Amino acid sequence: MISWNNLDASKAFAHLQTLRNRVCLPEVLSGEEGAKRVRKASVPMAAGLSYNYAAKAVDEKVLDALCDLAKETQLTEKFAALYNGEVINTGEKRKVLHHLTRGQLGEAVVADGVDKREFYLSQQERVAEFADAVHSGKITNEAGETFTTVVQIGIGGSDLGPRAMYLALENWAKQNGSFYMEARFISNVDPDDAAQVLRSIDVSRSLFVLVSKSGTTLETLTNEAFVKDALKKAGLDPARHMVAVTSETSPLASSKEYLAAFFMDDYIGGRYSSTSCVGGAVLSLAFGPKVFGRFLEGAAAEDVLAKEPDPRKNPDMLDALIGIYERNVQNWPATAVLPYSQALSRFPAHLQQLDMESNGKSVNRFGEKVDYVTGPVIFGEPGTNGQHSFYQLLHQGTDIIPLQFVGFKKNQAGMDVDIQGTTSQQKLCANVAAQIMAFACGKKAEDPNKSFAGGRPSSIIIGEQLTPEALGALLAHFENKVMFQGFVWNLNSFDQEGVQLGKVLAKRVLSHDTDGALRVYSDLMGI
C-alpha cells in the first residue's frame, strides 16, 4: 500500500534535520583515508558509467538516514507503481510511461485499448523504416534528390532534449556512425530564429519534422507556417518536405500535408520525450535507426538499475537523495551541472527544463501548499569553458552551490594534439579531477584573496566515452533522479500548470483585450 505524504511528515526527515554540517570535506578527503573514500564511493551505472559521490558532504550517518527516507517515502514502490501504469500524473489524470519507450520494466500496461510498450515500439519501427527509406533514396525531394538536412520544428521538450542529444552524438556519428545527416532546430517564435536556419540550409534538400503533441502549440504552428512559406517561395511542395510527430488525436495526425505522421501520446511528458519518436524521428534521420536504438538500450539499462531498493546501489536514487539533503537540510538553492565534454554543451539546458519544470512547484500532488523548499535552480556550461567564467563564484562566492560533474576518458572525434607532453583530452580529464579537489578541499594562503575555503561539494559521473549507450544512460539517470526527488517532495512532477497563465495573458494582449498595467506594457512593446 502506497502512502503519499509530505516530506515534513517523515520521521527520517526529522532525523535528517539533526544531521546538518556533519562533514568537513577537506578532512575526509585528506591522506590515505581520503583516497579510500574516493575508491569506495563509486556506484556502477549502465553503459559502463559510474556515479562517484566521494566529494559530497555526506557520511555514513547521513546516508543511513537517507536510506531510511527512501524506505519511508516508498521510492521503489512508487517507481513500480509508475512503470506498472498507475495514474501518477494525478492533476492531468494521466499515466507516466516514458520508461516504456525504451523497455518493459514491469507488467504490461494497457491504455486506450493497446499495449503501450508495443505501441511505442511500433512507432519506433515506423520511424526506422521511414529513416531507412530517406537514407536509401526511396523517399526523395521533388527533383528525385536525396535529403541532406533534417530540421526539427518544436519548442520546450520537443526542442531542448532532442537538440541536446543531437549535439551530444554529432561528433561521435561523424567518426563512428554508419550514417550522418545534418540536423537543425527551429524553436523560438522570434522570426529571426527560423530566418537564421532557413538562410543557412538548402531548403530543397531539407526534411522538416514538425513536433507538437496537441497539434496546437502556437510557436510551433507559427514556425511551420514560416517554413511552408519559404518552401512555397522556393517553388517546392511543403507536403513532400514535412513529417509530423504528434498524438493520434491531433489535427496533424491524418493531414495530407505531411509525408508521414509518427505518434506519441499523453503519457509522455514533453521533457521526458527524447526517447519517444519526438527524439526518435530527428535522431534516426540524423544518425540512423541503429544508433537511436543503441541510445534507447543505454536508457533501458539505467532504468533497470533504478529499480534497486538499496540507495547505495542505485545511482539514480542516491543522487536524488543527496540532492534532497543539500536542498532541504543544507538549504542550498542552486545546483550547477558541469559536463567536461563539449558534446554535452546543451545538456545542462535540457536538465534545466527536466528538473525545474518537473519539481519547481509549491503545492503537493493533492494541491496543498508545502512548507519546505522544492526544486533548485539548475544551470551549467561545459568545462573547461566554465572554469574561465562563473567558477570564480563557485570557488570563492558567499553561497555554496553543489556541483554535478560529468567526464569521459576518451574524446569522440578521434583527433587530438600533443602539447607540452600531454594531449588535449588528458588536459580536459586532469582539469575535472583537479576541480573536484579544489572545490572540496580548498587551500589556505597568506593573502585571503588567494585563499579557498573548500567545503564545496560535488559528484561526478565518469564514462569511457560518450557513446549512444552512455548518453542514454546519462539521460535516464537524470530523469529518474528528478522523478525520485518529486516522490520525496510529494509533488506531481509530470504536469506544468505554471506555464499556463502567461499563455492566457499573451492571447489577451494579441486580441487587445487588456487594460491597466498590461495595456501599458503592451504599448511599450509596440503591440
Instruction: Give 125 or 229: the residue with its C-beta nearer to its own copies.
Output: 229
Task: Take residue 161 and report the three cell numbers written for it.
Answer: 532534449
Site for its own copies contains 389 (CB under 8 A): yes
Among 21, 113, 144, 398, which residue sits at the site for its own copies (rule: CB under 8 A)?
398
Indicate if 72 belongs to the active site.
Answer: no
Residues in 62-101 at the binding interface with its own copies, rule: CB under 8 A: 91
Q: Are 55 and 440 in contact (CB under 8 A)?
A: yes
Residues in 289-328 at the binding interface with its own copies, rule: CB under 8 A: none
CB of 434 to its own copies, least distance (A): 4
Instruction: Give 1 or 501: the residue with its C-beta nearer to its own copies.
Output: 501
Site for its own copies contains 340 (CB under 8 A): yes
Binding region for its own copies (CB under 8 A) out of 4-12, 101-109, 260-268, 451-459: 451-459
Binding region for its own copies (CB under 8 A) out of 72-80, 126-134, 308-316, 490-498: 490-498
CB of 70 to its own copies, least distance (A): 22
Q: Are 482 and 335 in contact (CB under 8 A)?
A: no
**Could you give phi then psi for residue 501, rounded to 5 degrees?**
-60, -45
CA distances from 80 to 87, 97, 427, 460 (A): 12, 11, 43, 27
Q: Which H or E run includes 246?
A: strand 242-247
Residues in 400-439 at the binding interface with its own copies, rule: CB under 8 A: 401, 407, 409-417, 419-438
Which of these is catalytic: 256, 388, 446, 512? 388
**Could you give phi then psi for residue 272, rounded to 5 degrees?**
-110, 20
Site for its own copies contains 490 (CB under 8 A): no
Among 7, 46, 52, 278, which residue sits at the site for its own copies (rule: CB under 8 A)?
52
Instruction: Give 111 or 189: the residue with its C-beta nearer to its own copies.
Output: 189
Indicate if 388 belongs to the active site.
Answer: yes
Among 225, 234, 239, 304, which residue sits at the site for its own copies (rule: CB under 8 A)?
225
CB of 201 to its own copies, least distance (A): 13
Q: Are 437 and 431 in contact (CB under 8 A)?
A: no
Indicate if 116 belongs to the active site.
Answer: no
Site for its own copies contains 239 (CB under 8 A): no
Binding region for its own copies (CB under 8 A) out of 104-112, 201-209, 256-264, 395-403: 395-403
String of DSSP letters for 275-338: TSHHHHHHHHHHH-HHHHHHHHHHHHHHHHHTT-S-GGG-HHHHHHHHHHIIIIIS---EEEEE
Counting residues that bind its own copies (by CB under 8 A) gives: 161
Residues in 99-118 at the binding interface with its own copies, rule: CB under 8 A: none
Spell out the alpha helix ranges (H) of 41-74. Answer: 60-72
Site for its own copies contains 222 (CB under 8 A): yes
Spell out the alpha helix ranges (H) of 18-87. Answer: 25-28, 31-40, 60-72, 75-83
Residues in 167-186 at the binding interface with its own copies, rule: CB under 8 A: 170-171, 174
Residue 408, beta-bridge partner list: 463
Q: Are 373 and 324 in contact (CB under 8 A)?
A: no
Which of these is catalytic: 302, 357, 381, 479? 357
Among 30, 84, 214, 249, which residue sits at the site for its own copies (rule: CB under 8 A)?
30
Which of these is catalytic: 138, 444, 503, 507? 503
CB of 146 to its own copies, least distance (A): 20
CA distances from 32 to 38, 106, 431, 436 (A): 10, 44, 22, 17
Among 153, 238, 492, 494, which residue sits at the site for its own copies (rule: CB under 8 A)?
492
Q: Are 374 and 359 in contact (CB under 8 A)?
A: yes
Instruction: Give 10 or 122: the residue with its C-beta nearer to its own copies.
Output: 10
CB of 350 to its own copies, least distance (A): 9
Site for its own copies contains 392 (CB under 8 A): yes
Dihedral (CA of 132, 136, 139, 145) sign:
positive
CB of 31 to its own copies, least distance (A): 6
- Helix/strand/coil (H, E, C) string of 321-389? HHHHHHHHHCCCCEEEEEEECHHHCCHHHHHHHHHHHHHCCCECCCCCECCCCCCCEEECCCCCHHHHC
CB of 353 to its own copies, least distance (A): 4
Among 112, 114, 362, 513, which residue sits at the site for its own copies (rule: CB under 8 A)?
362
Residue 102 CA from chain centroid, whole number: 15
Instruction: Give 178 or 423: the residue with its C-beta nearer to its own copies.
Output: 423
Spell out the alpha helix ranges (H) of 360-465. Answer: 391-396, 424-441
C-alpha to C-alpha distance for 450 and 361, rounded to whole angstroms: 39
Known catalytic residues?
357, 388, 503
